[in-house]
């Protein structure tokens, strides 16, 4: 598995004061570096049918704004639960559009899938099937109706899941940083320096992170924990709106100290997009 990485800045960035605590402690909105624009997209979970129109919405949003160095961060959990996991991975490997630089993070569901493909793992303890693996295997063409609760052998899984997909998932980083923002799948452990974070926490943490209201060393953008609307706090924002069950996939746009939301939602059987400001 990958060690945590905070691409986009030099190794000494933790020693620099950022705008979060500037001006005598006043609340100052975090910023991305000048000239950059960043879009973060929440947990996809096999909903390629929502990702494609959302990316088209992002493309159009970019075209409507001034020139910038555009980046898109997918916050992990591309797979499981929704119907198009295999297709989503293939799209991420071979068909991402060129209007931005894409960064894809490791989620806990990618980790679980990789463990299922690892012959050294204890298969009796692997719960991947129970939280989305059936849907993923079905997307690869495996006849899942014949499966019980026991995870198939690795050699059986590899008949359906291409090695290039496994290698792609295994290469995913755990974090990205742009200015005052750090992007991770689940969150970080409060009280632990960013460069010392455990990959397990960044992929799986919930309550200890979600309930923390103090400083985190940066403003955290994350998925993993579902909320009907983006969960906006003073130290973090969660943008997992449960696409696989709600039919809404959410993106957060960031430029300077500005931020806005873009959504793709299934409404009356059709996918519609929406743009809204966060002030």
pLDDT in tens, 126-164: 889 999 999 999 999 999 988 888 899 999 999 999 999
pLDDT given at position 12: 39
- pLDDT at position 27 is 63
Residue among 109, 211, 143, 222 at smallest CA distance from 176: 222
How many other CB atoms sit within 10 Å of the CB of residue 112? Answer: 23
Dihedral sign for Cα 181, 257, 13, 219, please. Answer: negative
pLDDT at 18 over 80: no
Check residue 25 and give its pLDDT.
47
Q: What is the pLDDT of residue 124?
A: 82
Is the confidence at residue 19, as pLDDT, over 70?
Answer: no
Looking at every residue in the chain, the average pLDDT score rounds to: 91
C-alpha to C-alpha distance for 113 and 191, rounded to whole angstroms? 30
Does 21 score more than 60 pLDDT? no
| 178: nearest Cα among 279, 65, 259 | 259
Q: In sequence order, what DSSP letters do the residues of 99-116 get, joined into one string?
A: SSEEEE---HHHHHHHHH
Query: What pLDDT was estimated at residue 195?
Result: 96
Report the C-alpha gap between 161 and 138 in whole angstroms: 11
Buried b (16+ CB within 10 A) or exposed e, 239-276: bbbbbbebbbbbbbbbbeeebbbbbbbbeeeebebeee
What's the pLDDT score for residue 24? 41
- In terms of DSSP H, where are the helices of the chain? 22-25, 48-63, 85-94, 108-116, 133-139, 154-160, 163-170, 199-204, 207-210, 243-246
Predicted confidence band of residue 74 (pLDDT cuts 50, 70, 90): very high
- Which has the higher per-residue pLDDT, 14 or 205? 205
Report the distance separating Cα 250 and Cα 258, nearest Å: 17
CATH topology for the 32-277 domain: Purple Acid Phosphatase; chain A, domain 2 (3.60.21)
- The model's pLDDT over 220-257, given as tens digits with 9 standing for 90+, comes to 999 999 999 999 999 999 999 999 999 999 999 999 99
**Which pLDDT score, from 0 to 100, does residue 6 have?**
52
pLDDT score of 174 more than 60: yes
Residue 26 has pLDDT above 80, yes or no: no
Look at residue 147 in the predicted model and tell me its pLDDT.
Answer: 86
User: How would residue 279 be classed by pLDDT, with cut points 50, 70 and 90?
Assistant: low
Helix (H, G, I), strand (E, B) or coil at 63: helix
């Amino acid at each position: 598995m990958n060690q945590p990485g905070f691409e986009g800045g030099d190794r000494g960035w933790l020693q620099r004061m950022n705008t979060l605590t500037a001006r005598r402690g006043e609340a100052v909105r975090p910023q991305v570096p000048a000239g950059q624009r960043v879009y973060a997209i929440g947990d996809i979970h096999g909903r390629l049918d929502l990702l494609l129109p959302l990316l088209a919405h992002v493309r159009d949003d970019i075209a409507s704004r001034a020139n910038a160095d555009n980046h898109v961060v997918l916050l992990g959990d591309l797979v499981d639960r929704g119907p198009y996991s295999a297709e989503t991975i293939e799209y991420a490997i071979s068909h991402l559009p060129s209007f931005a630089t894409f960064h894809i993070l490791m989620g806990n569901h990618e980790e679980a899938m990789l463990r299922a493909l690892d012959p050294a793992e204890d298969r009796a303890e692997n719960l991947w099937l129970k939280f989305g693996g059936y849907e993923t295997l079905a997307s690869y063409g495996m006849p899942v109706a014949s499966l019980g609760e026991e995870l198939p052998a690795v050699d059986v899984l590899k008949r359906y899941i291409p090695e290039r997909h496994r290698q792609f998932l295994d290469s995913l980083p755990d974090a990205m940083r742009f200015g005052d923002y750090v992007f991770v799948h689940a969150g970080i452990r409060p009280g632990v320096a960013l460069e010392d974070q455990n990959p397990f926490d960044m992929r799986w943490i919930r309550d200890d992170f979600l309930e923390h209201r103090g400083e985190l060393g940066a403003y955290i953008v994350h998925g993993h924990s579902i909320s009907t609307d983006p969960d906006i706090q003073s130290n973090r924002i969660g943008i997992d709106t449960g696409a696989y069950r709600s039919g809404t996939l959410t993106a957060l746009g960031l430029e300077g100290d500005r931020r806005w939301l873009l959504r793709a939602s299934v409404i009356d059987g059709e996918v519609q997009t929406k743009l809204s400001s966060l002030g």
